[in-house]
Each structure stands twice: as structure tokens, then as C-alpha cells.
């Protein structure tokens, strides 16, 4: 996984526009996050065992006129930047202002709120962009009787398979109600978690291979990058366990008992993803320790070589220092073979020390 230099994790975890929310009363509708679409648009999907109809990019008035609550209906709200339009939509469908506040705050942690006439559920989609950096979109669901409303930051291609499944006559998406549809969408999001985790796993494998052959700052940058991405993933997945547990424990009439086994299956997948993320976080920490250990080991090897060289030259320097003194009467200076004898002694000492170091396995 290439380390992106332009994206900052701290900035990614925070959300633009959050300071504008400070001091306002609960339920104030202000969009917090990036603008990912040109406008806020609405889609309406209506289905039963015998029919399926999808109306794209229609107005709020058309939704109110076309909505058939005798069938399974799905309203998709794409683009959250138009807080006024979202507020008007909430008034028409009697959505609590706190629901709308959480929908517009794209930094909201995954959670679920269950009331008598509505169930609110929000979670994150995870993907990897062209620079191999983690990106997330917030998807929020409001489940009402025979109606599912979903709020998306952008048009998500991961849901394209849902529309193909809707084309199957008498399929579960048509006959099992909007709660099953909410499960199906959640299941697709969680399944994509596994793909993202696999990408991180491949990145960790590449780092482990590099640690054997090369040690440089780029490897450390990749380790730090993966650490931040795993934290980002944990922030998206960890609260989702609690949100799904609340759904599994509820006795709301909005959730058919027949469909609870499907939500339980999604919860198992979330647990598996979370455990995998924790395992990779520990592995990434071990890779960092391995990097620092290998760096320290190589530094020790360098210091060992330098120490051996310095140790060999200490007696040689001593001998050269003696015969470098400017005394007039030094017996060896007049000896015909004194120069060669000194060289022989110095080479003998150096050779003897090398043999000694090799014998003691210091080399």
C-alpha cells in the first residue's frame, strides 16, 4: 500500500463545519462534512411480489404523490449538503430533529435508536481510493412501517447489486419487508469491510517482506500509515457492534422476527471484522517493533565494526606515536631494518587481534 502524503489522518477523522455547530441547541440542522454531490436528490423504489418500480432524481412533491405504503417502499436521499431540504423532508415524514441532526453530521459514530414508530440506524461504508488511502461515507437508515428511508453522502456503487436483486420476481427484497431491505444494505456494507481489511493485510505482508531486505524511512512511513488507517477502521466498526446488538435485542414491531436471524448474521460478520482489525493492529505494532529492533541491530553491527577497527589501531597508533617522537637518540632509528621490523610487528599485532576477534565470534 503506497503511503499517501497529501491526506492527513487527523483531518480525515475530523469533519469540516463542526465549529459552526458549537453553541447551537440540540436538533439544529447544519451539514458537517465534505460535499460529495452537486445537489441533494431523491429516488423512490417501490416493490411487492408482482411489481418493481424505480423513480430516480424526483422531487419531494413527487415522492409524496407516488408513495404507496401498501408496498415495500425505499426512499433514497443522496447528498446531505442541503440542510434546509433535509429539514423539509423530515417534516413531511415526521422524522425527529435529533435523527436529522445525526444524519447531517457525517462524523457521527455508528449507532441505533429505536422508538415506537421509527428505528434510526447509522453506519459507515469503507473503501480505498486511487491513492490507497481509506475513505468513508456515512449511510443512515430510518425504518418505518412499510418504508425505509436511507440517507447517503454520495451515490454509492456498492448498492448496484441491490437493484439487480429487486428484479427477481417474488424475491425476498420484494416480499420480506423494508426491515429485510435494511439488512441487505447493511450486509453489503459489512461485506466490503472484508475487502478493505484484505487490502490492509496485503500491505502488512509487503512491509514484512521489506523488513527482511531493506530498512529505510519509507518502511516506517508505511507502518505509521497503516496504524492510522486501522484506527480509522476501528472507529467505524467498533461502535457498530453495539448498534446491531441494540437492534437484535429490540422487540419493535418494525422488525419481523423472521428477519432477526439475518441481522444476527451481520453482527457475527462485524465481530469477525473487528477481531481481524485488532489482530492486524497488533501485527502492525509488532512490525514497528521489528523495524526498530532491526534498525538497532544494524546500528550495533556498524558500531561493532567501528569498535574493532578502532581497537586494532590503538596499539598500532601507540607504536607509530612512539617512533614519531622527535628525540635525537632512539636506538631503533639507526637500525638498518628497523622500518621493516616495525611494520612486521604492527602487521603481526593486527593479524593476531583479527584472529582473536574471529575466535571469540566478534566478527
Alpha-carbon gap, residue 145 to 123, rounded angstroms: 21
Beta bridge partners of 150: 76, 141
Q: What is the pLDDT along the chain (363 residues), one digit of tens a residue?
A: 444 444 455 455 445 555 556 656 676 788 888 888 889 999 999 998 888 899 999 999 999 999 988 888 999 999 999 999 999 999 999 999 899 999 999 988 999 999 988 999 999 999 988 777 888 999 999 999 889 999 999 988 899 889 888 888 878 898 899 999 999 999 999 999 999 999 999 999 988 888 877 777 788 888 888 899 999 999 999 999 999 999 999 988 899 999 999 999 999 999 999 999 999 999 999 888 888 888 787 888 888 888 888 888 888 888 888 888 877 777 777 777 888 888 888 899 888 888 888 887 777
What does each C-alpha distance from 336 to 330, 332, 333, 342 come to in angstroms? 13, 9, 8, 12
- Measured between its terminal Cα atoms, the distance across the chain in Å is 38
Q: Is-contact 253 34, C-beta < 8 A?
A: no
CA atoms within 13 A on the CB side of 233: 33
User: Which fold would CATH assign to domain 9-293?
Assistant: Beta Polymerase; domain 2 (3.30.460)
Q: Is-contact 32 16, C-beta < 8 A?
A: yes
Give the pairing type, strands 72-78 and 147-152: parallel
Is the CATH number 3.40.640.10 carried by domain 294-359?
Answer: no
Q: Is-contact 102 122, C-beta < 8 A?
A: yes
In the numeric block, the cell 465481530 is attached to 271
The per-residue pLDDT for 1 is 46
Q: Is-contact 31 18, C-beta < 8 A?
A: no
208: its cell numbers: 514484512
Same fold, 9-293 and 294-359: no
C-alpha closest to that of 79 among 118, 33, 123, 124: 33
- How many residues are present in the chain? 363
Any residues with CB less than 8 A from the CB of 68 and at least 6 apart, and which? 46
167: its cell numbers: 428484479
The per-residue pLDDT for 288 is 87
The per-residue pLDDT for 3 is 46
Beta bridge partners of 147: 73, 144
Q: What's the whole-model pTM score? A: 0.80
Q: φ and ψ at 203, to 5 degrees?
A: -65, -40
Interhelix angle 260-322/178-213, rounded to 10 degrees, is: 10
The per-residue pLDDT for 27 is 64
Interhelix angle 83-92/97-104, rounded to 10 degrees, is: 150
Alpha-carbon gap, residue 203 to 222, rounded angstroms: 8
The per-residue pLDDT for 289 is 85
115: its cell numbers: 422508538
Alpha-carbon gap, residue 14 to 229, rounded angstroms: 14
Any residues with CB less than 8 A from the CB of 17 and at least 6 apart, and which? 30, 31, 32, 33
Q: Is-contact 24 15, C-beta < 8 A?
A: no
Domain parsing of the chain, residue ranges? 9-293, 294-359
Amino acid at each position: 500500500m503506497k503511503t499517501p502524503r497529501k491526506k492527513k489522518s487527523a483531518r480525515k477523522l475530523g469533519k469540516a463545519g463542526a465549529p459552526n455547530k458549537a453553541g447551537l441547541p440540540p436538533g439544529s440542522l447544519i451539514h458537517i462534512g465534505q460535499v460529495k454531490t452537486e445537489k441533494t436528490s431523491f429516488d423512490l423504489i417501490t416493490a411487492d411480489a408482482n411489481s418493481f418500480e424505480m423513480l430516480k432524481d424526483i422531487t419531494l412533491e413527487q415522492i409524496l404523490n407516488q408513495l404507496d405504503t401498501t408496498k415495500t417502499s425505499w426512499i433514497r436521499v443522496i447528498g446531505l449538503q442541503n440542510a434546509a431540504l433535509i429539514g423539509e423532508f423530515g417534516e413531511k415524514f415526521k422524522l425527529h430533529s435529533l435523527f436529522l441532526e445525526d444524519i447531517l453530521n457525517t462524523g457521527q459514530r455508528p449507532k441505533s435508536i429505536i422508538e415506537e414508530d421509527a428505528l434510526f440506524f447509522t453506519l459507515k461504508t469503507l473503501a480505498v481510493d486511487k491513492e490507497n488511502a481509506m475513505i468513508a461515507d456515512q449511510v443512515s437508515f430510518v425504518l418505518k412501517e412499510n418504508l425505509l428511508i436511507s440517507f447517503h453522502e454520495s451515490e454509492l456503487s456498492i448498492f448496484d447489486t441491490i437493484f439487480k436483486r429487486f428484479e427477481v420476481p417474488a424475491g425476498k427484497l420484494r416480499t420480506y419487508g423494508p426491515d429485510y431491505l435494511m439488512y441487505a444494505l447493511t450486509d453489503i456494507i459489512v461485506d466490503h469491510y472484508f475487502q478493505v481489511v484484505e487490502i490492509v493485510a496485503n500491505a502488512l505482508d509487503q512491509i514484512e517482506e521489506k523488513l527482511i531486505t531493506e530498512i529505510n524511512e519509507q518502511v516506517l512511513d508505511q507502518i505509521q500509515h497503516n496504524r492510522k488507517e486501522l484506527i480509522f477502521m476501528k472507529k467505524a466498526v467498533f461502535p457498530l457492534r453495539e448498534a446491531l446488538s441494540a437492534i437484535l435485542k429490540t422487540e419493535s414491531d418494525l422488525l419481523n422476527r423472521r428477519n432477526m436471524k439475518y441481522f444476527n448474521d451481520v453482527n457475527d460478520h462485524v465481530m469477525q471484522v473487528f477481531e481481524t482489525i485488532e489482530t492486524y493492529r497488533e501485527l502492525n505494532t509488532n512490525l514497528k517493533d521489528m523495524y526498530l529492533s532491526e534498525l538497532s541491530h544494524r546500528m550495533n553491527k556498524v558500531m561493532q565494526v567501528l569498535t574493532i577497527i578502532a581497537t586494532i589501531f590503538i596499539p598500532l597508533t601507540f607504536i607509530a606515536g612512539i617512533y614519531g617522537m622527535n628525540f635525537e637518540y632512539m636506538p631503533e632509528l639507526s637500525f638498518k631494518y628497523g622500518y621493516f621490523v616495525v611494520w612486521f610487528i604492527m602487521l603481526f599485532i593486527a593479524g593476531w587481534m583479527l584472529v582473536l576477534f574471529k575466535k571469540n565470534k566478534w566478527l
